[in-house]
Structure 1
Amino acid sequence: MFKMFLTFVRGSAAIAEERFADRNALLILDQQMRDAAGAFERAKKALAVAIAQDRQESERLAASHARIADLENRVAAALTAGDEVLAREGAEAIAALEADRDAAAGAQALFAAEIVRLRRHVGQAQARIAELDRGRRLARASEAVRQMRQGRIEISPAHESTLAEAEQTLKRLRERQVEAEAAETALDELDGAAAASVTEKLAAKGFGPRLRTTADDVLERLRGRQLQAN
């Protein structure tokens, strides 16, 4: 029983963790992006330092070559002059310089290869960060549209209205406007009907022209046509 309870607690914690991550996915993504960008900037600085050190090593190696060449000329001159002691001393110095040169050349080769590898990794990281940034902007826009169209799935703050609520408000407003317009139209029709009734009564008494054709008007028109035909 206790084991089952522990399993239940662990399952509940896992579900709560997943729900928390889902609700705050954009915030978590933003922080992860900031962390990745910080690591990327540190890597770039480290690479810049490595490139600067590699250039310094190249300069030292070039200086070693120049110094060895200079000593070789001087030792050759000492040999020509028959000064074996100075020539040997110079040769020993050349041998030491050549040992340092060979060690520096090997180290520089490894260093250069490592810089190439670091450049490749930094370039790949930059491309991945750029892709993540584009995806983050798209996810943020999609989330904004989803919230606008459907409202928040979780409980909204009390002060925040959804699009559906705004649509309902507009619908009620339009219904009230339609009702008001219909009432005004009905009143206008009633007023017009009352005025027409009075006008008809006056016309029937011969006050002013008649408003409609009567049977006498029709008969008179037909008789007139017959007289014209004869």
Structure 2
Amino acid sequence: MLSKIMTALRGKANETGQSVVDSQALRILDQEIRDSENHLSRSKTELTRLMGQRQLNSNKADTLESKIAELEKSAEAALDKGEEQLAVEVAERMVALQDDLEAERAIVSEYDASIEKLRGAIRGTDNQLRQLKQQVSVVKATESAQKAQSAVAARHSGQNSAMSSAMESLERIKERQQLNSAQMQAADDMAAEESGSSLESRLKAAGIGGQERKADDVLARLKAKKNATPE
């Protein structure tokens, strides 16, 4: 059981760590690019140092070649003058310098190989960084566009929610007003019934009673009376 709990805790920690990495992905990527640029800068500095050192050894080799050429002329001159022993000494010196020259040339060749290898690595890293930066620019643009779209969607959702809420409020107001109107009409009806006006209204509507009916009766009576009176 304890083992399972520890495993669950490690899984949770890994999920949390991955969540942090995901939320900071662009920031981490920018830092990794800066780290790569720093490594590239140090590589270029090292390349400059190697090229400088290579030049020093190349200059030494050139100096040795010049010295050997001068000694060769001196040996020939000694032989021309019959100074064979002197010519031998010069020749021995030439051999020693020739060994030094070959050593310098070997060093220069090693520098050339290292320089070419480092140059290739720098070119490759430069290309990778350039492509990576281009892709990061696209990713950042996409990220910005998606954030803008999310904001618009959120605002639109909020507007729809507000509109729905407003419509619901309007319907509730209408229902309340209709209820109030019904209640007031019911109150008027009850008051009319209590005062008897409702009954009079119904009788009048039926043509029973009322001032108009009394006037008709009076007029009819007067006409009948007039007709009954002899001339």
Deviation of the 1:6 alpha carbon:
1.5
Partner of 1:164: 153
- Separation in structure 1 between the aligned mates of residue 43 and residue 124 of structure 2, nearest angstrom: 12
Cα offsets for 1:139-192 (capped at 9, x unmatched): 111111111112xxxxxxxxxxx323433566669xx9xxxxxxxxxxxxxxxx
The amino acid that maps onto 1:60 is K
- Separation in structure 2 between the aligned mates of residue 86 and residue 4 of structure 1, nearest angstrom: 92
- Separation in structure 2 between the aligned mates of residue 130 and residue 8 of structure 1, nearest angstrom: 42
The amino acid that maps onto 2:71 is L
Structure-to-structure mapping, 1:29-108, within 5 angstroms: 29-108=29-108
**As a proportion of its length, which structure holds more helix?**
2
- Separation in structure 1 between the aligned mates of residue 27 and residue 157 of structure 2, nearest angstrom: 32
- Separation in structure 2 between the aligned mates of residue 21 and residue 169 of structure 1, nearest angstrom: 30
- Separation in structure 2 between the aligned mates of residue 30 and residue 47 of structure 1, nearest angstrom: 25
The amino acid that maps onto 2:156 is E
The amino acid that maps onto 1:140 is K
The amino acid that maps onto 1:108 is V
- Separation in structure 2 between the aligned mates of residue 169 and residue 15 of structure 1, nearest angstrom: 32
- Separation in structure 1 between the aligned mates of residue 159 and residue 56 of structure 2, nearest angstrom: 73
The amino acid that maps onto 1:98 is Q
- Separation in structure 1 between the aligned mates of residue 35 and residue 129 of structure 2, nearest angstrom: 11
Partner of 2:131: 131
Deviation of the 1:63 alpha carbon:
1.5
Percent identical residues: 28
SS state at 2:46 partner: helix
Deviation of the 1:68 alpha carbon:
0.3
Instruction: Report the count of equivalent residues.
Output: 163
Give 5+ residue unaligned stretches, structure 2.
Answer: 167-231
Give 5+ residue unaligned stretches, structure 1.
Answer: 151-161, 177-230
- Separation in structure 2 between the aligned mates of residue 166 and residue 23 of structure 1, nearest angstrom: 23
Partner of 1:228: none
Deviation of the 1:122 alpha carbon:
0.5
Structure-to-structure mapping, 1:1-230, within 5 angstroms: 1-150=1-150, 162-167=151-156
Taking structure 1 as reference, are residues 31 and 167 closer, same or farther at Cα in structure 2, changes over 3 Å only? same
Give the TM-score taking structure 1 as reference length.
0.66
Deviation of the 1:86 alpha carbon:
2.2
Deviation of the 1:7 alpha carbon:
0.9
The amino acid that maps onto 1:3 is S
Question: Which structure would you say has the larger Rg?
Answer: 2
